[in-house]
Structure 1
Amino acid sequence: MKNKRIIVLIVVLAMMASMAACSSPSAPTTAAPTTAAPGETSAPPAEAKTTLVYGVSTDAASLDPHVQNDSHSEQIVAMLYNTLLKFEADGTIVNDLAESYDVTDDGLTWTFKLHEGVKFHNGKELTAEDVKATYERFMADDADAARLVVKEITRMFESVEVLDKYTVSITTNEPYGPMMPLLCNRSLAIMDADVIAQYGYQVGDFVESTVGTGLFKIVSWKKDEELIVERFDDYFGEPAKLEKIIVRHIPEAASRVIALENGELDMINQFPAEDLARLEADSRINVIKSPGVGARLFRFGCNDPIMSNTLVRQAIIHAIDRDEVIEGLFPGLSYATTGPITPVVWGYHNFGEIKQDQEKAKQLLAEAGYPNG
């Protein structure tokens, strides 16, 4: 019997609720070809695709690493640019554009030796001058902090110095513990100094002003319609397996699902929770659930005289039926948080799951001065 299964990927951003806890995340679900029965011949392996058509809910707002501040923009920026350091899939921090680095004993100066021969998409070689120009763009006193959102998270940066063509140092005004994960942040991706000088605040607004060192280079961008990237053959690391990715903007979730099922798309992001069971049951479709960095949570207005009382906030948290909330809103697409940040975020610590306990909630309210709730 010939295997006619079509393998399609769907990225599910697991939504984690600090206000609601549930069971641990389910393992990734993968579809695999069936095995031929005795005496039958299985179909030959399908030829690998070289082009991926990807349906997304929202177009990128900006492809300027310093400006982008949403997951859709960052997803594209991640394909186009590199940072000094990077996160591996398991959260380990490794070198990216940096070949090596060291830190002074006082924790103030970080010196990076860059890989030699790294090329930008325009053919220019990356040097320490590009790192300096990239960082000084947002470090400048007159840098527009409202536009360059990275300025706010790098206020500890004091200076950037070029030591030689491939060596650069960054000095902070005080030791900064999360310096390594900060340097993995896509907002600190390294740009071509000449492109910065030529386009200024128009960097990342159109194809010509979007020049990185990443796996892919941008070749076309019709805002709110379609964005196309192609493999960068001069990439300094392991080359991309795909030759081209076509990112199509389809705002309606139902339309994205229909396009996937009709074969118009190879991959989509985000779909209604009510479609999950049907899509998982479709042998042509492979649903992959991957934990995300985001969380659904309560934000208490602690300037309120009642909510400023810690006991009141604790009572609310213990009163909630987390299982009901998650099953009602995100069935199959969420799991419990056990801390203020999610497990895939650097620095995560498991403080334990908070279970519903209404008796404890009543007790806490009474201690807070509200015995009748």
Structure 2
Amino acid sequence: MRRSIWLAALALAAVLLFTPASATAQTLIYAQSGLPVTLDSASAQDGNSLRVAYQITEPLVGFEPGTANLAPALAERWAANADSTVWTFYLRRGVRFHDGTPFNAEAVKFNFERWDDPQHPYRGEGKGYAGFEYVFGGFKDENVLGEIEVVDEHTVRFHLTDSVGFFPAMVAAIYLQIDSPTAVMKDPDRYGTPEYGPVGTGPFTFERWIIGDRVILRRNDDYWGQKAKVDGIVFRGIPEPTSRLAELRAGAVHIAVELSPEDYPVLQREANLEPVLQKGLNIGYVAFHQAHEPLDDLRVRQAIAMAIDKQAIVDAFYAGLGSAADQFVPPAMWGRSEGVTDPSYDPAQARRLLAEAGYPNGFETEFWYMPVSRPYFPAPQPIAEAIASYLADVGIRVRLQTEDWGTYLSDYLRGKFPMYMLGWSPDYPDPDNYLFTFFGPRAPQSLGWDAPQVRSLLMQARTAPLPEERAALYAQVQEAVREDLAMIPFAHNNPLHATLRGVEGWVPSPLGSSENLNYVSVPR
């Protein structure tokens, strides 16, 4: 009882710290698995950063709340030429950034060129813009973007180097949020940090980021769209799902996301809580970096895949809310292959493959697991321990390792990890966002795997005019990836969240972090 009172007092203190003295002040307190790494959205790679940024800055194209259907955001409408090589976006009028400067076509051009050009004067020291690279497949002169033309104050035109029929979906990617050029130019290195938060057009403004504790946002009363129903939001980073649930039970937070699946029946019985299941389009995977021997040997990778009983692990840790994955595009998405079969659990065959590869007694390596729970891996450390146990049964001795989340996201791209866990919640509802992201131009860096034929198929799929042509090409990609076992698709999940009873208007996005929290109200 004393703990509950203490936690509730902390929540009240957070509200009093944030809001003015007002009997009607309402603050939404949102518990996620970690605090942001950065609030410069294009340089973010994790959902905890992007969810917060999405409340402050906005893309040209958004999604209908709770769906993967495209909807107008900062662009009211868009149109293409006959072969989809030129896309024109018609921008909202009268929109201003939080610093009072106008949102216009010049601002759009500034942002896209900043992300696209490694030599841009306002890019910011050390900012890599991996999300932009994921979406477009490279930077200036290496991707599909050509000229960005300012037609007039409220019209911007993208000239592409090839046909892309789903370009508006690409532009809707959560990384591509439009920042105030004036704010960026003041200090591009520190923009989006705790010392210098982001400046956008969204329903909330950046107020304060207390390192290691919380991020505080305030309602934007001049917002062009649906005004927020709360005075502000406090985002708290609470790494353990059990701790997030405890805070929710104590009334210290209103929303707790990415809870342990086994808590679902418990939540259904608790009168003061509402369980919320999110439609899952995610994928968790186990990846190899083939610069680390003996993971460059296909037989070794096959042995690892056969040594792990994925279904048993999903049964143990996903409590009926997840499913074992056999491809990198989830079952609800088109672009899968009927010809792909998942490696069966077969430890005896795994040992034979290791012996053929010259490792009859197995080998040692490192296996890195994520330090935070994510939708696709609700319990990373226990899942990693289970995988390690299965590998040990065939003689593969792994040293389990982890590190700070921000560092983890940088180090996997540097090839530091021989084996590692990671996953993906899509940025836009298209197979391209999975397969091009995983196996496109970044694959040599993130996987130590260079497959020009796969990249060629992916580029053909981007520019193919008909959906059925694209689907056939993506099926070929899935088959090539399975044959070479570049990564192991592990699990899909329907993430479990919960709210206090009385919280209304919150519908989690099937795309992960693209949430519209201005529609949420909390009980008084």
Find the counterpart in structure 2 of residue 148 from structure 1.
128
The AA in structure 2 aligned to 1:323 is: Q
- Letter of the 1:200 counterpart: P
2:198 maps to 210
Of the structure 1 ranges 328-337 and 72-81, higher mean CA displacement relative to structure 2 is found in 328-337
Q: Is the 8 A contact 1:113 1:167 kept in 2?
A: yes
Please tell me whether the aligned partners of residues 336 and 353 of structure 1 are also in contact (alpha carbons under 8 angstroms).
Answer: no
The aligned residue for residue 104 of structure 1 is: 81
Q: Deviations over 1:116-175 (max 9, x none)?
A: 111222233211111011111122241569623245243322221111110111122222
Residue 94 of structure 1: CA displacement? 2.3
Say whether 1:125 aligns with 2:102: yes
Q: Counterparts of 1:229-244 in structure 2 under 5 Å?
A: 229-244=217-232
Task: Say which of 171, 187, 192 aligns to 2:159.
Answer: 171
Task: From the superposition, tell whether residues 307 and 52 of structure 1 become closer, same or farther in structure 2 (CA, over 3 Å).
Answer: same
Instruction: Determine the structure 2 residue equivalent to 1:187.
Output: 175
Query: Which deviates the most, 223-232 or 125-134?
Result: 223-232
Distance in 2 (alpha carbons) for counterparts of 1:300 and 1:227: 35
Question: Conserved in 1, the CA contact under 8 Å of 2:219 and 2:231?
Answer: yes
- Aligned pair in 2 of structure 1 residues 272, 318: CA closer, same or farther (>3 Å)? same
Instruction: Choose 196-205 or 130-139, whichever is displaced more.
Output: 196-205
Change over 3 Å in CA distance of 1:141–1:358 after alignment to 2: closer
Structure 1 runs, 4 residues or longer, greater than 4 Å off: 143-146, 300-310, 312-322, 347-359
The 8 Å contact of residues 101 and 182 in structure 2, kept in 1 or not, is answered as: no
Taking structure 1 as reference, are residues 306 and 115 closer, same or farther at Cα in structure 2, changes over 3 Å only? closer
Residue 265 of structure 1 deviates from its aligned partner by 1.5
Select which of 46, 59, 83 maps to 1:83. 59
Tell me the CA shift for residue 262 of structure 1: 1.3
Match 2:244 to one of 256, 276, 288: 256
What amino acid sits opposite 2:92 in the alignment? H
Moved more, 240-249 or 160-169: 240-249
Q: Secondary structure at the match of 1:175?
A: coil
Amino acid at match of 2:58: N
Larger Rg: 1
Of 107, 111, 114, which aligns to 2:91?
Answer: 114
Does the Cα contact within 8 Å between 1:339 and 1:348 map onto a contact in 2?
Answer: no
Amino acid at match of 2:147: S
Structure 2 length as normaliser, TM-score?
A: 0.53
Q: Take 2:236 and 2:314, find their aligned partners in 1: how far apart are those partners?
A: 30
Secondary structure of the structure 2 residue equivalent to 1:255? helix
CA contact (8 A) 1:118 1:213 kept: yes
Superposition deviation, residue 253 in structure 1: 3.4
What is the correspondence of 1:355-366 to structure 2 with a 5 Å cutoff?
Answer: none
Unaligned runs of 5+ in 1: 1-47
Measure the CA separation in 2 of the matches of 1:73 and 1:268: 16
**3-state SS, counterpart of residue 237 of structure 1:** coil
Q: What's the counterpart of residue 161 of structure 1?
A: 149
SS at structure 2 position matched to 1:269? strand
Amino acid at match of 1:288: V
Partners of 1:306 and 1:252 lie apart in 2 by 32
Would the alpha carbon gap of residues 338 and 306 (structure 1) be closer, same or farther in structure 2, given more than 3 Å must change? closer
Letter in 2 for 1:272: S
Shift of 1:188: 1.2
SS in structure 1 at match of 2:127: coil
Distance 1:147 1:236 in 2: 30
Whole-Å separation in 2 of the counterparts to 1:202 and 1:235: 25
From the two aligned structures, give the one with the greater helix fraction.
2
Deviations for 1:247-295, whole angstroms, at most 9, x for unmatched residues? 1233343332222111112121233344443333222211112134432
- Give the distance between the partners of 1:272 and 1:168, measured in 2 at CA: 45
RMSD: 3.6
Task: Return closer, same or farther for 1:297/1:249 CA change in 2, 3 Å cut-off.
Answer: closer
SS at match of 2:278: strand
Aligned-residue offset at 1:100: 1.8
Matched, 1:95 2:72: yes
Contact 1:199–1:209, Cα closer than 8 Å, also in 2: no
Could you say what secondary structure the match of 2:283 adopts?
A: strand
* Normalised TM-score (structure 1): 0.73
Classify 1:348/1:246 alpha carbon distance in 2 versus 1 (closer, same or farther; 3 Å).
farther
Q: Indicate the larger mover: 292-301 or 74-83.
A: 292-301
Classify 1:57/1:358 alpha carbon distance in 2 versus 1 (closer, same or farther; 3 Å).
Answer: closer
Instruction: Letter of the 1:259 partner, please give it.
Output: E
DSSP-derived class of the 2:192 partner:
coil
Q: 1:219 aligned to 204, 207, 210, which one?
A: 207
Greater RCO, 1 or 2 (C-alpha within 8 Å, sep 6+)? 1
Q: Structure 2: how far apart are the matches of 1:133 and 1:82? A: 15
Match of 2:32 in 1: 56
Q: Is the 8 A contact 1:127 1:166 kept in 2?
A: yes
Alignment of 1:261-340 (within 5 A): 261-299=249-287, 321-337=309-325, 339-340=327-328
Q: Aligned pair in 2 of structure 1 residues 350, 257: CA closer, same or farther (>3 Å)?
A: farther
Contiguous gaps of at least 5 residues in structure 2? 1-23, 358-393, 395-524
